[in-house]
Amino acid sequence: MSAITNITSTAQVSIEKRVAELISQMGLDEKIGQMSQLQGGGNSIPHDLAESLRASRVGSILNEVNVDIINEMQRICVEESRLGIPLLIGRDVIHGFKTIFPIPLGQAASWDPDIIEAGARVSANEAASAGVNWTFAPMIDITRDPRWGRIAESLGEDPYLCGVLGTAMVKGFQSNDLSKPGSIAACAKHFAGYGAAEGGRDYNTANIPENEMRNVHLRPFKRVAEAGVASFMSAFCDLNGVPATGNTWLMDDLLRKEWGYQGMVVSDWESIVEMSVHGFTHDDEEAAYEAVMAGIDMEMASSSYHDHLEDLVAQDKVSIEQIDTMVARVLKLKFELGLFEKPYTDPDEHVALLDKSALKAAKQAAVMSCVLLKNERHVLPLSHADLGSVAVIGPLADDGYEQLGTWVFDGEAQHSVTCKQAIEEMIGRTVDINYVKALDTTRSHNDDGFEEAVAAANKSDAVIVVVGEESFMSGEAHSRADIDLPGHQAELIKAVASAGKPVVVVIMAGRPLTIGNILDHADAVLYAWHPGTMGGPAIADLLFGIESPSGKLPVTFPKMVGQVPIFYSHKNTGRPATDHTCFNMEEVEPRASQTSLGMTSFHLDAGYKPLFPFGFGLTYGDIKYVKITTSHRSISLGETMDIAADVVNTGSRAAEEIVQLYVRDLVGNVTRPVKELRGFKRVSLKPGERKRISFSLHTDELAFYNRKMEHVTEPGRFHVWIGGSSDAELWADFEIHS
């Protein structure tokens, strides 16, 4: 009989009481065991691990997805350990389990919380069928450096958008009840500042003033904490001189005391012992002490808690009360997941992997994630009725593995449908498909296949070139200093463009790439990110007009890497650049005086604007914004006002547009960004249709942290814009008075 029967389990008794009752029966070694997460993933359970499970020395297993092994591990814990405490089973389910969705940055380009929630729901159901009950997502680090490999896992550069979409992902993973079949615990990561790593190099130092932390980097974390995310993960980075994993201000003063967060906090992989590598602690024992003082409830992968916490308690450096508080948070999550009532997984009780509904959801997510960056002379959508032949060219046109993207552990390329396959399926019966890979990989500099590619373009009515990055080129530890298209892909595009046929470039990548050098050689550019299992059918539907693109960029695209970091919500500076003050150095006469150089904030060789702004994305319609109004010219603190504008589709095709609301506080106790996103709505427009779109804005939504770190809305003047990107020009103003 399981020892779990000794624990009160009537529905009337609160989880808190059950946790306290269980802790009262535990020895110190068992408590420390609950704070330890070990690596799994073998074909069997090693003897030493089985003994640790029996001795209650393990609270969680990481990276085991064999349901039979997981069930056996749970059986050992529940039936052979003294107190019968089940395991948390953790896995990186980042953008899918078996059914792979677009990378999170791609999903963010949908600007659609419902799509993101649906994807997380599918992922949770599939992962739960394997025995996984905890995922390490969403990643809601604010990311403004495309060199950083983990930008692919992020939801972009804007705190408001990240917060909205991150909350949707949490809801999808957890549903409204963690104990419900198919629900898994989510984890908000990486807390905090990890996305601001110096130089875009992963794991690097982040130096962020507290005011910027609060006004930018912490905002999405606070939002998901308020939404009930089950756990947080500490960041790898040194934040302002103190590694996040041992940062008491961040983890305890702010997260616990100020925000009142009661969920569990886990370290990142070995980030506790890595504090010694940072030079913050002398050894693993001191690292364990600092992590406990900060409030890290569970150690991932390394063993400093197992090795040193008993000694730290014996030395009176760590109290039993501290340990009990941390263990209580671990046990609380296990009770919330219903693991004490149902520790085992029956795959037959879950939906089938890769079923029709999952593939449909993945395809729809991929459709809505694609961003149309260029569409000269409305070359898209292509009409297969007008085509006798199409060239499909490029290293990613028929590569089911690479289209899955980074950080995919359980998805398999054999289930992917590629662009070539989807185009053949759609039009191959009536249109000749001339396929040439041209380059072996995206990094290849071998041009031997170019002649065949140009020949295919010459004998085709239109050319589709699928290029980008291989999946390994983004993700953890995979940062890039050069973010151009790798290899000779730009040269390939130029070569096939010489045939004089319409050229459509599809780009699959894990980050914004600097693609200015190919724009003049492409009639249309569709940015598909890494689109996942159903990327091919989604792209084919968009190219041939079955679907209409509606994605918007969740990050700014630089012209060149030297502009980085570049983002829309920058400060104005005392000398802001304008079109009148900005010029290119090639325009300057030789031996020009220094005072002729404009004296404003821009680059001589790149100007001050990006290649594509945050929020940008074309549709197959022609969208215009007119007639902005505000319900009041002046409101008091605590009041709400409405801002509205007409959105018109002057084109000949139906379109979906994401209407965006931006605000600027003209004068603040601390300087404020030139624009900040404060709302967005999706609108469907028939050809010629006009709709009035309205936003409500409460003065509390304009609050920020001032010099005293007070969260306040200040009276004063504000500008407000409604448009299709952060470059929106249609504006009005209003005033808030006290």
Catalytic residue numbers? Answer: 268
Distance between CA atoms of 157 and 143, rounded to whole angstroms? 5
- Residue 177, CB-side half-sphere exposure with 13 Å CA sphere: 4
Name beta bridge partners: 690: 648
CB 365 within 8 A of CB 372: no
- d(CA 77, CA 131) in angstroms, rounded, equals 15
With beta carbons less than 8 A apart as the criterion, state whether 540 and 422 touch: yes
What phi, psi does 401 have (nearest 5°)? -75, -50
> How far does Cα 488 stand from its chain's mean position?
29
Find out whether 471 and 492 touch, Cβ atoms under 8 Å: no
Torsion angles phi and psi, residue 5, rounded to 5: -65, -15
Q: Sign of torsion, CA 77 190 165 366? A: negative
User: DSSP letters of 584-613?
Assistant: -GGGSPTT--GGGS--SB-BTTTBSS-SB-
Query: Helix, strand or coil for residue 476?
Result: coil
Phi, psi of 366 (to 5 degrees): -65, -40
Question: ∠686-690-691 over CA atoms, to 5°?
Answer: 105
Q: What whole-number distance in Å separates Cα of residue 133 and Cα of residue 339?
A: 9
Q: What's the rounded Cα separation, in Å, for the pair 318 and 238?
A: 24
Alpha carbon distance 152, 405 (integer Å): 9
